[in-house]
Chains A and B, each alone.
Chain A
Amino acid sequence: MGKVVVDVSPSVDGYVAGPGVAVGRPFGEAGTRLHRWMGEDGFPPTAADRDALERMYATTRAVVIGRRMFDVGIDPWGEDGAFRLPVFVITNRPGEDLVRGPTVFRFVTEGAARAVELAAAVAGDGDVMVAGGADVIQQCLAAGLVDEIRLHVVPVLLGAGTRLFARPLADRVELEQTDQVATPFATHLTFRAATSDRVVATRTTS
């Protein structure tokens, strides 16, 4: 069985989108810059950025995303659905599979754990990538579903928007850094749990 990998591009101050996320503005005001290293925002990616992107997808066989990310992303992802993989969308609105070329979006109404389970079944020995949004990432961390966190840290301070990590935790979570790659538009860092198999970030009950 492969790994479950959170993969996301935060600003240095930990935002994955600027304020004002909406359809037609998937990363809010100023947030598109966070995905410049992937060739979005009108900038061609450099060779090193493209290598990082290819490495990130090389072992990925299925993707898990949240409904909000799907809603604001589906138009910009275009004819081929961008991911070119099975994508499991966590939602409370059931729907028929949506096929966009090589990308199939499946709607899962039984929560994050079920979505990851279905994705893992499809991925086989490959990895499941939990791509966002922040709330889905936090749900997966809280449920102990995550083996690895990959951050593509973008050199900008946004100051406001959607935080990658927004929930108080019951305990601090120690991680271990396993990889560091610098490309012109981002710094790519990989972490796994320091003391157990899974990264478990449990919320405080309040």
Chain B
Amino acid sequence: MSIVVARNHEEVGPYVSRVIWHITMSLDGFIAGPNDSMDWAVREWSDDGANTRDIDVDRSAIADEVLRSAGAILGGRRWYDVAQRLYDGVDGIYGGEWRGPVFVLTHQPPHQAAQKSVTFLSCPLADAVATARTAANGKNVVIFGANLAKQCLQDGLLDEIVIHLAPVLLGDGVRLYESTGTDPIVLTRTELAATGQLTDFRFRV
């Protein structure tokens, strides 16, 4: 199956399904903390119920738009395993609000049956993106996982990056992007907002 991926939104208009990497990132560039922790990316209350850290991606209008316009999720294997182990698997996606199909690209699909909404794909990346795009049925494909996103970026398959920047230094974890010997990837900032203490960025690749 081959699907022509439109690269230029000005030419084709906004209705074309886009491939979006959607992440929360610490100020020092980590999209997951030590031991894949994400507790730095959520609200925090004191004992007397006061909100001590105004960090709440759910409240971001840009995050909400990404969720509402998404038709499928394509994740990497490491993302899937971490989500299974720590974050209620696919039931935990977008705080439990995700109802659509989830595709996981992996060389070795797990033996045990997955939840009905999960499909394991063992195919070239472009085919996996095309499969997710077909399933999204005109809506967007959201990418989860730093490795998968990097491959999408380098193969020209990614259209947008949405980053919620949290004002915290973590010191260690999974970095947004590491790639030696490749050309810089120039982005265009298309949206910018503040949601409490979060900075919401939307970039076009």
Interface residues of A (CB under 8 A from B): 11-14, 18-19, 30, 33, 149, 151, 155-160, 163-165, 167-170, 172-177, 180, 182, 187, 189, 191, 194, 201, 204
Contact = CB atoms under 8 A, between A and B. Distances in A.
B194 A180 contact: yes
B163 interface: yes
Contacts of A160: 178-182
B178 A168 contact: no
Nearest to A202: B171
A180 B185 CA distance: 24
B185 A157 contact: yes
Contact of B185 (A19, A159, A176, A201): A159
Interface residues of B, number: 37
B183 A12 contact: no
Given A157-B179, A159-B182, 4 more contacts: A12-B201, A156-B185, A157-B153, A157-B176
Given A13-B176, A160-B178, A172 B187 contact: no
Contacts of B169: 165, 169, 172-173, 175, 201
A46 B175 CA distance: 32
B168 A176 contact: no
Contacts of B168: 172-175
The interface centre, meaning the residue of A160, A174, A191 with most chain B CB atoms within 10 A of its CB, is A174
Interface stretch (B27-35, B75-83, B93-101, B134-142): B27-35
B117 interface: no
Interface string B147-188: 000000100000001010101111110011111111111111
Contacts of B27: 149, 151, 165, 175, 191
**Pairs A-B, 5 closest by C-beta atoms:** A169-B171, A159-B179, A14-B29, A165-B28, A175-B167
A180 B175 CA distance: 23
Nearest to B176: A13
Nearest to A185: B189
B69 to A, nearest CB: 22
Nearest to A173: B169
A149 B175 CA distance: 20
A194 B187 CA distance: 30
B187 A156 contact: yes
Contacts of B201: 12, 187
17 contacts: A11-B184, A12-B177, A12-B203, A18-B184, A19-B180, A155-B203, A157-B179, A165-B27, A168-B172, A169-B170, A172-B40, A172-B171, A174-B168, A180-B199, A187-B189, A191-B167, A194-B53
B163 A12 contact: yes
Interface in B9-60: 27-29, 33, 40, 53
